Amino acid sequence: MENKKNTDISSEEHTLFTKHIPECKRVKNRAKNSYKITPKYRHFTVYVGRFKEFKRGLHAVLNELRAASKDDVLELRINSSGGLVNEGKQFYNLLQEKFYGRSIAYIDNHAYSMGALMFCMAKKRVIYPYSDIMFHNYSAGFTGKGGEIRSRLEHKDKILVDFFHSLIVSEGFLTDDEFESMLIGKDYWMGAKEMCERNIATHVVYKGEQVKAKKYLKILNSNSTKKIEKNKKTIKVD
């Protein structure tokens, strides 16, 4: 059996851990003596901080991830207030190229701005009861001659608006009207319940178990009903 040592690579704000998963043979049908074999693969985990890599950059992290095979999986652990959209787009391109349909994102604490967009990139999106997220429009600044500034702003605005739209509206997380409000300055803050209602989160870690978002909403509704009934009984006793 192959036994490779797990490794980690760090940038200023992000850390990549690589775990080697050996081939697994599971019984599919004992009567027919058939088995399902899961090939060996690597499980990459990136802890995501701010998108502000001014010194070392993301080269080492991205280079390691670009060596991924078709069976490898990427897990993103997000605790981010956002930062440079260009860095986030590098991760988006990576997911499209090397981990399409094989990515999992967790909001370990909060995901704001570019952190929120990164969460939306993943196929499976997991939160905790007190995770929160925030969507808003980009901030930017340009220098140069007037015509150059205008041309550059128009170009970048079109690129970024299309990029944001593909991640937020095309997936149904915000409506077109909400997106238009976001573009002119509205911030959208959401907790776990609303993320589940909008399907931004697909799963929730609740009491040691990872449950689907719809089940978590039923749990919240049940707990709310029990609380109301308990309050009614308390009032009657008083």
Length, in residues, of the chain: 238
Residue 165 burial (C-beta neighbours within 10 Å; 0-12, 13-18, 19+): middle
* Residue 144 confidence (pLDDT): 83
* Residue 115 confidence (pLDDT): 97
The model's confidence at residue 183, banded by pLDDT at 50, 70 and 90, is very high
Distance of CA 9 to the CA centre of its chain: 20
Q: What domains can be seen in the chain, in order of their start residue?
A: 7-237 (3.90.226.10)
Model confidence at 2: pLDDT above 50: no
Measured CA to CA, the distance from residue 120 to residue 127 in angstroms comes to 12
Measured CA to CA, the distance from residue 72 to residue 37 in angstroms comes to 15
Single-letter residue type at 156: K
Which percentage of the chain shows pLDDT scores above 70? 88
The partner residues of 45 in beta bridges, in order of sequence, read 17, 75
Per-residue pLDDT, averaged over 27-40, amounts to: 72
The model's confidence at residue 227, banded by pLDDT at 50, 70 and 90, is low
The model's confidence at residue 159, banded by pLDDT at 50, 70 and 90, is very high
